[in-house]
Structure 1
């Protein structure tokens, strides 16, 4: 007589041993440790591009609306001196009416209870950008800095796309634009703000330059050209980006 139950028991596969379970969990842990950082980095890059693109669109729209009321940007009354305190007057006239709920910032208003240090992409402090600028906080929490540089006939404009949140680093969450203040430096019909580095026709200069380059070894203004690199890459952070 056949022992059916015995045959069945004999054919059944045994469960995992404790050692096998631990090995499996270890493999899963290794895979997770390898993939999670990549997933987080990918997400951070996507958010960075989305916020930067949003800011670019909002500011370009504000300029178009302002030009409809105040004439072409080439004819606007730009600040006359570097570090001009009249930057507030310029912003209040040409930008504030077209940026809903924007708020003037200062150490006492926006940064009273926050430690806010800014860095170049090479890790060196960039405190002057914070201390010398006229600062505005947009309704979505972004910080915008305006710094007139009249000898070179432009206004530097910096945006921190996530406000006071870290890393507060140029090329990571802070990006640089310029606005030229006379037609000799920009075509009158295309007089809107530009990413810093727009003038470089060679893409290699965006990444390789020792001045303003989007790399971590640039000795001067490291990271300034990173926004232009993202724009030229089709609003994407390219593989060679120094994240």
Structure 2
């Protein structure tokens, strides 16, 4: 009986950890899946159209529909329409825990929705911000479910930046706190990161998206220190 009691105590202590690890693994798998499928969809679009760079060629999100179709989207909203859809949360949060103000800084929500948002068949949702140089695509890999926060279930990518493939959103590399909230302060894609200091919580760290693609795990949670 004593042995069974000890086993029960140990199980009760380890179960939340195991569940937490399992949830983290699901989120990481979602990031990797989205990055892979988005990359394939962009490549297919380029092969079908002969185009190289999607950015700067469209004043609205309609051109991206061809790429989103390859991602199997089931619903779409454009600009202010996104305020009333049921598949987006009211708010989402950047890496610092502040409500995201736009797509480039972690908004996949009814507030800060960008130019368009898409719901995918697997439950993921992403929002699009059109930029003259590239498109910012920010995805919530478990859709409306919480925590709706950058570095946990929300991650940002760029399409068309420098005519390259799908990259982590880290085009704006600076020490500005607002930029740090999503992008980190160094550019892995441009070789500007210190390989020994990629922790997004630290000065000069990488973007949360880059961290996941590099290490296949979620980055540390920013606690304000």
Pairing 1:9-158 to 2, within 5 Å after superposition:
21=1, 24=3, 26-74=5-53, 76=54, 78=56, 86-92=59-65, 94-105=66-77, 106-111=82-87, 115-128=89-102, 129=107, 130=109, 131-133=112-114, 134-150=116-132, 153-158=133-138
Which has the greater radius of gyration?
1
Runs of 4+ deviating beyond 6 Å? none
Q: CA deviation at 1:100?
A: 2.7
**Equivalent residue number for residue 144 of structure 2:** 164
Q: For 2:194, which of 198, 202, 208 is the aligned residue? A: 202
Structure 1 alignment gaps of length 5 or more: 1-20, 81-85, 215-224
Matched, 1:178 2:151: no
Say which structure, 1 or 2, has more relative contact order (CA 8 Å, 6+ apart): 2
Q: 1:127 to 1:33 in 2, by over 3 A?
A: farther
- Would you say the 8 A contact 1:142–1:159 is kept in 2? yes
User: RMSD value over aligned CA atoms?
Assistant: 2.7
Post-superposition shift, 1:116? 2.9
Q: Is the 8 A contact 2:134 2:158 kept in 1?
A: yes
Deviation at 1:46, TM superposition (A): 1.4
Q: Distance in 2 between matches of 1:117 and 1:77?
A: 27
